[in-house]
Amino acid sequence: MQADRESAVREILQVKHLPPLSTTAAKLLEAISDDEIDLKALAAIIEMDPGLAARIVGLANSAYFAQPSPVYSVEEAIIRVLGLNMVKSLALGISVAGAFNLEKCPVFDLPGYWYKALACGQLVRSLAVMVPLARRPDPAALYLGGLFHNLGALLLAHVLGEAYAGALSRAVQEPAERLLDIERERLGIDHREAGAWLAERWHLPAAIVAMMGQLGDGDYSGTYQTEVDLLNCAVERMSAVRAGEAYALSECRWLNRIDGLERQRILRIEETFLGQLDDLELVARQLA
């Protein structure tokens, strides 16, 4: 069994198993780091992939954004609804997710993956307003970190297929057992470790690599500690929502690690977030 686990880990970490980024995704990755890119240039990149462009326009027209009149183009989606930074992140997230083949893992819950990604991205970005302005992380980086926090699950499904399907099935049958523990026991690696490796291999921005690599680490105190703590809070809160647990955002232990938080905002942030969840679930199904 130990030899099987080690073999699985080696398989995950071999470059030949890494799905290639599409040309569009590679250009979007460059755009993420380009603060001077304008909306026409971004729209042109997205429109290289008609399917991606259609999904961005579809998102802008979704009930979540409640537009009074239809949106017909990527440029309109950027100007009227989503904004430049959100379109960068969403387009990259959609394009990257499309690199993975999930056919060998039929039990993989793709709508659930997108629901957690979108919800964590939305919540962690909202939490940033509590951080004093002088130390406030980039909301766009936080949103992308939320979108990508579960990316390793796609990699495990892509590479290990049936083996990962077995781990997911067991997690459903034994909900008291943590998925991360099941993954490590059965595969020798968990989806967070896989995601952190992928973030480095794909040369994602340093803040995203840190957020994915240090997720769940209560001892981390590096350059991106605030980003990591905020993402941990969002992921923990989202897990509680999914499990139907009574858990208030104000009780989140990760927030206690951040000095000077404007906690008077926390109730409004939570109320707004919980009010968005049904619409986010619909958006997730649209993306899946």
Q: Which of 99, 124, 148 is the last residue before a domain boundary?
A: 99
pLDDT at 7: 62
pTM comes to 0.91
- Within 8 A by CB and 6+ apart from 96, the residues are 21, 25, 148, 151, 202
pLDDT tens string, the chain, 288 residues long: the values are 555 555 655 666 564 467 778 899 999 999 988 888 999 999 999 999 999 999 999 999 987 888 889 999 999 999 999 999 999 999 999 999 988 999 999 999 999 999 999 999 999 999 999 999 999 999 999 999 999 999 999 999 998 899 999 999 999 898 778 899 999 888 888 999 889 988 988 889 999 999 999 999 999 999 999 999 999 999 999 988 888 887 889 999 999 999 999 989 999 999 999 999 999 999 999 898
- Same domain, yes or no: 77 and 180: no
Asked whether residue 232 is assigned to any structural domain, the reply reads yes
Residue type, 125: R
Other residues' Cβ atoms within 10 Å of the Cβ of residue 35: 10
- Same domain, yes or no: 269 and 163: yes
- Same domain, yes or no: 62 and 104: no
- Same domain, yes or no: 25 and 154: no
* SS3 of residue 21 by DSSP: coil
- Same domain, yes or no: 90 and 120: no
Cα dihedral sign for 245, 248, 251, 256?
positive
Q: Which of 80, 99, 118 is the last residue before a domain boundary?
A: 99
- Same domain, yes or no: 236 and 115: yes
What is the C-alpha separation between 186 and 230, in angstroms, rounded? 30
pLDDT at 65: 83
CATH number of the domain that 125 lies in? 1.10.3210.10
Q: Are 223 and 211 in contact (CB under 8 A)?
A: no
Asked whether residue 172 is assigned to any structural domain, the reply reads yes
Q: If you write DSSP's letter for every residue of 199-267 in order, what string do you get?
A: HHHTT--HHHHHHHHSTT-TT--STTHHHHHHHHHHHHHHHHHHHT----GGG-GGGGGSTT--GGGHH
Look at the chain and report how many structural domains it folds into.
Answer: 2
- Same domain, yes or no: 79 and 116: no
Range of the domain at 267: 100-287
Q: With the CA atoms of 200, 206, 209 and 210 taken in that order, what torsion angle do they form, in degrees rounded to the nearest 10?
A: 140
- Same domain, yes or no: 117 and 223: yes
Q: With the CA atoms of 118, 121, 126 and 130 taken in that order, what torsion angle do they form, in degrees rounded to the nearest 10?
A: 150
pLDDT at 10: 61
